[in-house]
Amino acid sequence: MRRLILAVAAALAAAPAAAHDGHAHAPGWTLSPEVTVPLLATLALYLAGRVRLRARSGRGRRGIDARTWRFLAGWALLAGALVSPLHEGGEVSFALHMIEHELIMLPAALLLVAARPGPVLLWGLPTPARALVAPAIRLPVWRALGAPLPATALQAVALVAWHVPALFDRALRSEGWHIAQHLSFIVTALLFWRAMLPDGPRREANYLAALCLFVTSLVGGGLGALMALDSSPWYASYVALGVTPFGMSPVEDQQLAGLIMWVPGGLFHLAAALALLGLALRQPQKVSTTA
């Protein structure tokens, strides 16, 4: 634990020079336009939509303000994970890389979904663009993919597939593959948490969501446990770097990453599952009126 705290502190202070493909990158913040432009565009779109909706909402302004704070907190966590020195630190430490992924897929995605940003983002678009986008987001395919079971399966596939050594090493060596990895994590996590937080007080939906969260904790926790308990390093890119800047061998670094995925990640999903179970138990059960 002491090594982890020192590693995170060192990464946030100033990440060491690292490489995806063997070439050194400048330490510090990651400000590549491939990352910063979509982040800033999403924030600008949301703020523009918020101004328009708030002007029309009247008594509903308090609800918009509460959701805005959730969105801003989620956006800040996502942006921090992707552009702060933590990202650069993840190129030389698998444990820091794992922290980045956990921030993206757990608190950041959950807060963004809890903010229910869809209508606000839609109102941020110009009227002609809004008329084109609105029918597209109502397509049945999105409802199908966002159902609890498909969303859980999609996130599990993305999680397991990207930790296969061949794909993970490719993402470390190639900026394009790294972006694809993060994009798949973000999209599947947003779909997953949207499915876990259905609209309306539906008792059965909360039970199903709690089950999906429990299964997800087993998938992520199982993968993390395999990493934590294995005495052989999985990823050639980290092995080639040798000892991390924080004094850990590739095996120790991997084991720490596995523990992060196994324990905090698993507890996060379990806590969400218990919260939904508690909510379901407090909701009145429907009584059949049929004879």
pTM, two decimal places: 0.85
Average confidence (pLDDT) over 281-290? 61
pLDDT at 104 over 80: yes
pLDDT at 159 over 90: yes
Using CA atoms, how far apart are residues 91 and 100, in angstroms rounded to an integer?
11
pLDDT at 291 over 90: no
pLDDT at 244 over 70: yes
- Annotate the chain with three-state secondary structure: CHHHHHHHHHHHHCCCCCCCCCCCCCCCCCCCHHHHHHHHHHHHHHHHHHHHHHHHHHHHHHHHHHHHHHHHHHHHHHHHHHHCHHHHHCCCCHHHHHHHHHHHHHHHHHHHHHCCCHHHHHHHCCHHHHHHHHHHHCCHHHHHHCCHHHHHHHHHHHHHHCCCHHHHHHHHHCHHHHHHHHHHHHHHHHHHHHHHCCCCCCHHHHHHHHHHHHHHHHHHHHHHHHHHHCCCCCCHHHHHHCCCCCCCCHHHHHHHHHHHHHHHHHHHHHHHHHHHHHHHHHCCCCCCCCC
For position 204, what pLDDT does the model report?
A: 78
Contacts of 16 (CB under 8 A, 6+ apart): 27, 88, 89, 92, 245
Tokens at 238, concatenated: 């980290």
For position 201, what pLDDT does the model report?
A: 59
Average confidence (pLDDT) over 249-275? 94
- Total Cβ atoms within 10 A of residue 264: 14
Q: 13-27, 106-120, 145-159, 246-260 — which is least confidently predicted? A: 13-27
pLDDT in tens, 178-200: 999 999 999 999 999 999 987 76
pLDDT in tens, 44-73: 999 999 888 877 765 556 667 788 999 999
Using CA atoms, how far apart are residues 151 and 118, in angstroms rounded to an integer?
18
